[in-house]
């Protein structure tokens, strides 16, 4: 019963209200995605807790909530109401533009050839290490604002252009700052194993992550400075092999992080089995 309750928001009389799943399916896939659940002339109510309380035909909602009050009412006539998009994989904190690599790619260079020539991740690492925290935050903020304008309401954001503890923490602090100050949901990921840093073998990099990076993240979580949600490894031929990946992910899991990694992206190496 809606009664005289107070609610946060009423989106009223939308031309289209896209529910995605219209018949209580848990999700849609393949051909199912071609028939989205769309209501016409519909309204939606958001409660004070931020959760959706009701969705339905505008006249039905109007009756049901006739005695309720709303902090805000938006007339959605002629408009389409969509669920927020979830961007599940992004590397949005970085400095140094890699537009020139498009020319290399157009000339036929592969991802790994660019990577081995010092381009790709290594190029970005070099520039991200030099950038100040404020510079990284400012550019990251612009990127998040653009994502929000394009409809994303929850974004997974990875570190991984530092590869050393100092810069990885700098990136994670930038992500933490955005979590607190921006009106967009962020799930943060430590991706210190995004590439093997120059001057180290994969085993040395793995040891450094397990013995130095992860304990520091745990310490910063306990002190309330940085709350990281997930851990990621680039499990790939010539980067981190299955064994290193397993060690890093296990250590991350033991630290309380959720697993979320790049596997079988360029070469099938059976990373799904990890
Ligand atoms: Zn990635």
CA of 33 to the centre of ligand 1 (A): 25
CATH 3.30.70.1070 fits 86-273, yes or no: no
CB 47, CB 6: distance < 8 Å: no
DSSP secondary structure letter of residue 212: I
CA of 155 to the centre of ligand 1 (A): 13
Residue 61 has a pLDDT of: 97
CA of 263 to the centre of ligand 1 (A): 10
User: Can you tell me the distance from the alpha carbon of 70 to that of 215, in angstroms, rounded to the nearest whole number?
Assistant: 47
Residue 37 has a pLDDT of: 92
Residue 168 has a pLDDT of: 98
CB 58, CB 78: distance < 8 Å: no
Residue 179 has a pLDDT of: 97
CA of 168 to the centre of ligand 1 (A): 15
CATH number of 6-83: 2.30.40.10
Residue 24 has a pLDDT of: 87
Domain 6-83 and domain 86-273, same fold? Reply is: no
**One-character DSSP codes across 170-209:** HHHHHHHHHHHHSSSEEEEEEEEESSPPTT--HHHHHHHI
CA of 273 to the centre of ligand 1 (A): 19
DSSP secondary structure letter of residue 217: H
Residue 144 has a pLDDT of: 98
Any idea which residue has 């040395």 for tokens?
Answer: 204
CA of 261 to the centre of ligand 1 (A): 8
Residue 89 has a pLDDT of: 97
Q: How far is CA 236 from CA 91, 94, 194, 241, 255, in A?
A: 17, 22, 10, 6, 23
Q: What is the pLDDT along the chain (274 residues), one digit of tens a residue?
A: 556 899 999 999 999 999 989 888 999 999 988 889 999 999 999 999 999 999 999 999 999 999 999 999 999 999 999 999 999 999 999 999 888 888 888 989 888 888 877 788 889 999 999 999 999 999 999 999 999 999 999 999 999 999 999 999 999 999 999 999 999 999 999 999 999 999 999 999 999 999 999 999 999 999 999 999 999 999 999 899 999 999 999 999 999 999 999 998 888 888 888 8
CA of 90 to the centre of ligand 1 (A): 6
CA of 193 to the centre of ligand 1 (A): 11
Residue 134 has a pLDDT of: 98
CA of 160 to the centre of ligand 1 (A): 9
The radius of gyration of the chain from alpha carbons, rounded to an integer in Å, stands at 23
Residue 2 has a pLDDT of: 57
Tell me the domain boundaries of the chain. Answer: 6-83, 86-273
The strand pair at 37-46 and 52-57 is best described as: antiparallel
């Amino acid at each position: 019963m809606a009664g005289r309750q107070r609610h946060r928001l009423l989106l009223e009389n939308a031309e289209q209200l896209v529910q995605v799943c219209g018949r209580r399916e848990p999700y849609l896939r393949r051909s199912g995605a071609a028939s989205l659940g769309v209501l016409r002339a519909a309204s939606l109510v958001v409660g004070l807790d931020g959760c959706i309380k009701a969705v339905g035909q505008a006249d039905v909602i109007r009756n049901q909530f006739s005695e309720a009050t709303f902090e805000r009412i938006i007339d959605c006539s002629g408009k389409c109401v969509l669920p927020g998009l979830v961007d599940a994989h992004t590397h949005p904190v970085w400095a140094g533009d890699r537009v020139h690599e498009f020319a290399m790619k157009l000339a036929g260079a592969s991802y790994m050839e660019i990577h081995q020539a010092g381009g790709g991740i290594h190029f970005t690492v070099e520039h991200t290490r030099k950038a100040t925290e404020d510079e990284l935050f400012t550019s990251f903020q612009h990127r998040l604002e653009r994502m929000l304008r394009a409809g994303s309401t929850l974004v997974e954001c990875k570190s991984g252009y530092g590869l050393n503890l100092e810069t990885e923490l700098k990136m994670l602090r930038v992500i933490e700052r955005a979590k607190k100050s921006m009106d967009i949901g962020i799930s943060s990921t430590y991706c210190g194993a995004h590439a093997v840093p120059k001057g180290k073998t994969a085993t040395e990099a793995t040891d450094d992550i397990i013995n130095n990076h992860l304990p520091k993240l745990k310490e910063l979580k306990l002190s309330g400075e940085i709350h990281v949600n997930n851990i990621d490894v680039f499990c790939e031929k010539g980067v981190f092999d299955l064994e290193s990946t397993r060690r890093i992910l296990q250590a991350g899991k033991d630290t309380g992080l959720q697993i979320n990694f790049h596997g079988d992206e360029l070469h099938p190496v059976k990373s799904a089995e990890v």
